[in-house]
Amino acid sequence: MQITGKRYLDYSSFIKLNFGERVQKISLDVGFTCPNRDGSKGYGGCTYCNNNSFNPGYCEPEKSITQQLEKGISFFSKRHKYKNYFAYFQAYTNTFSDIESLKKMYDEALAFPQVIGLVIGTRPDCISDELIDYLSFLSKKHFISLEFGVESTLNKTLLAINRCHTFEDSITAYENCANKGIHLGAHLIIGLPGETRAELLNHATEISKLPIDSLKMHHLQIVKQTVMAVQYKRNPENFDLFTSEDYIDLISDFIGFLRPDISIERFASEAPYDLLIAPKWNQMKNFEVVAKIDQKLAEKNTWQGKYYKE
């Protein structure tokens, strides 16, 4: 894409085009849970989930939002002097509370100097019309992003990983949030058990039908202290985990089926090495994965949307 210098629309370029510079996210943990953990819909949570695998060390749910923002900004300012930040409600399901409590938390974050917007990670079955209207109201003055964990477009997979929602729930959530001034993100895990290459590529087709603005992806990682870790130990033959080479090859094809105007925020994630069971890619960093994907796209002469059909 000429606009970014890459063969896809990358999220960092989207942010710079809209804000003139990079805006750092400050992750927050406010002690939420999930409906498939507390018994509302199920127990045990998603089979792959250990929040410690992606929660930064500065997140402390016993501290206030203001205190966590102060600590997070102090952490990032040691490396770079950012002017503005997004408050990132990251851990667990960040709309899973009553509306008044949510308003209080979001308002506290937006009242913090240098915070110009919210990024709210949640589930497609945990969003109400009342909350959508409030976030739409906030979006008139602030950048408001809702990131739904879709994870897979296949209901058989969602059932197997104990998500306790369907892909139809995701479709409904996005339709209800569309055209409300809210930036809509999606999250997919690539390589969940039982999914074929054709089904994985079809995720790009199905996700492109949704009114989303950005997409995060990462390959399946087996981490300690999860149900999936036990499943992997007992029946490793049920898991077809990617080598780095195979994943990069798949993603270079996946991008071709993706709607051209969706910004890609992430291709891979790095679980802490002390928690990671498999696959281990020789501690390859995210920027190295991105560089190899860029190279593979050039080798194949492909780009985002090459195979996309409206």
What pLDDT does 57 receive? 60
CATH H superfamily, domain 11-300: Aldolase class I (3.20.20.70)
Q: What is the dihedral of CA 66, 72, 76, 82, to 10 degrees?
A: -30
Residue 290 parent element (H or E): helix 286-300
| Structure confidence by residue, pLDDT tens digits, 169-215 | 999 999 999 999 999 999 999 999 999 999 999 999 999 999 999 99
* Count of beta carbons in the 10 Å neighbourhood of residue 251: 26
* Closest to 242 (Cα-Cα) out of 220, 270, 275: 220
As beta bridge partners, residue 188 has 151, 217
* Closest to 212 (Cα-Cα) out of 189, 250, 179: 179
Q: Domain boundaries in the chain?
A: 11-300
pLDDT-derived band at 61 (thresholds 50, 70, 90) equals: confident
| Structure confidence by residue, pLDDT tens digits, 132-174 | 999 999 999 999 999 999 999 999 999 999 998 999 999 999 9
CA distance 46 to 64: 27
| Structure confidence by residue, pLDDT tens digits, 63-80 | 899 999 999 999 888 878
User: Where would I find the H helices in 153-258?
Assistant: 155-160, 167-177, 197-207, 227-234, 244-254
What pLDDT does 54 receive? 57
Residue 151 parent element (H or E): strand 143-151
What pLDDT does 2 receive? 46
| Contact assessment for residue 50 and residue 225, using Cβ atoms and an 8 Å cutoff | yes
Average pLDDT over residues 267-295: 92
| Structure confidence by residue, pLDDT tens digits, 69-121 | 999 999 888 878 889 999 999 887 888 888 999 999 999 999 999 999 999 99
